Structure 1
């Protein structure tokens, strides 16, 4: 018999998950939330979701308990070179604009952030694009940082090994150039690209994460805000603003917009892509 998530239990989890992680599970997602919580409840042998709630809130090792729960709550579906229209704008226009700005500043390092990077497909895609652009040869360097809430998915990202599902939009010549075949099912990112990418944990609604990395030239935060409530979205967007250099670029998912979010970021449009910029210091 399926154990139901009561209305009261749903409210307890909805409030807690919103406060801690920004995740929104409204009334329409009650059954989805139940299905996400059930594996951990069953594993612990608890009789109700209320017991699971208090276990997660007050267990002495609650941080470890949260780490075990988070993989069940987040959506880590991704693949290489997703939403190609944005990537085309990045390659054809933004890389050269950023390089020009960096040359004037004297900095010879391109910094890109992939927020909610999942298993690493996006940050490695961005590293490959920067590498193949030819705009950042030595002594230039490219530093791509992937951040995510889920510690288990970050371990997978660091392993950098992928199966065919991750290559649904990957050109075969690019795959041959940047991947080594491990076995019949898996391909691994070559060292030259892996060395450009680092991973770390971050909670996007906690303002402290932006103090742990240098300001970024480009940020990708795609298909993340759609899972956040209004206040969590505001906090996340403010953090993304702080994480950008003046004049830096922010890309969101195609279904996401900042039109209802108070922000100083300015929207720009190109064929097939919308992105946002932090204004320059002088404008």
Structure 2
């Protein structure tokens, strides 16, 4: 029997109330996300899998190990992150980026100037690569400026997959066939690999929006797409994330959130702007 078989067949640990609280507190401290008792099965399944892989039978012993061992803490965080995404997700914001946001920035720049775009969380790469593809397809001035796209995520395993750039039919389903043919090479079965020129044009790095120390090396950006992340935070974590987003923006820069998220409910530091295709927030 393989280690994968052992993990799949391992019984779920029955976490006590104190253990549930400890898991929730650790994950909140590390990620800013809330995992409460209503997610007991989700928590027990992932804790159980990590316990088998790390060779622990006692929950408290395992959690103590995860607190002190960096690689295991990273693996546990990866196990709890959510990577549900696909190409051209919420494409109305991509339309706003090409039609209004970048033209507004370009009016204040000279040809050849740097424009920095940050996709966070980028999941397994679809979010960041979607920006690159959309601009190549829809912004006529894309080659006139030095566009730098950075994708980041808390999940280091997702970052590795993003760098590899291999995708199945579900991830590609919303892309027009001619776009798939132009930017993706066929592989085994129905899988595709993003072409090298495009893959090498996006830089992927691990980063944690509630941990400023992981963000300082990234510098400041002109546009940040931070979509469908803040919904997993409580008010305190949202305020911290908003402060970090503000500090990561150049003056006049734009933030795009998910369709159900509102910066106005979190902080008044940003100015809301209603564009034709989206509501965005600017650093004054």
What's the TM-score, normalizing by structure 2? 0.90
> In the alignment, which residue of structure 2 is the partner of 1:247?
252
> In the alignment, which residue of structure 1 is the partner of 2:106?
99
> In the alignment, which residue of structure 2 is the partner of 1:190?
195
Q: Secondary structure at the match of 1:38?
A: helix
Aligned residue among 213, 216, 221 for 1:211? 216
> In the alignment, which residue of structure 2 is the partner of 1:9?
19
Provide the rounded CA distance (Å) in 2 between the counterparts of 1:176 and 1:268. Answer: 36
Q: Secondary structure at the match of 2:190?
A: coil
> In the alignment, which residue of structure 2 is the partner of 1:137?
143
| CA distances 1:158-178 after superposition (whole Å, capped 9, x unpaired) | 111111111121111111221
> In the alignment, which residue of structure 1 is the partner of 2:4?
none
Q: Is the 8 A contact 2:12 2:48 kept in 1?
A: no
Q: Is the 8 A contact 1:18 1:229 kept in 2?
A: no
Q: Is the 8 A contact 1:111 1:216 kept in 2?
A: yes
Q: After TM superposition, where is structure 1 displaced by more than 4 Å over at least 4 residues in a row? A: none
Asked whether 1:87 is paired with 2:94, we answer yes
Q: CA deviation at 1:189?
A: 1.4
What's the TM-score, normalizing by structure 1? 0.90
What is the aligned length?
273
Aligned residue among 49, 57, 64 for 2:59? 49
Asked whether 1:151 is paired with 2:156, we answer yes
Structure 1 33/214 Cα, relative in aligned 2: closer, same or farther at 3 Å?
same
Structure 1 gaps of 5+ residues are: none
Q: CA deviation at 1:34?
A: 1.8
Structure 2 gaps of 5+ residues are: 1-10
Q: Is the 8 A contact 2:115 2:146 kept in 1?
A: yes
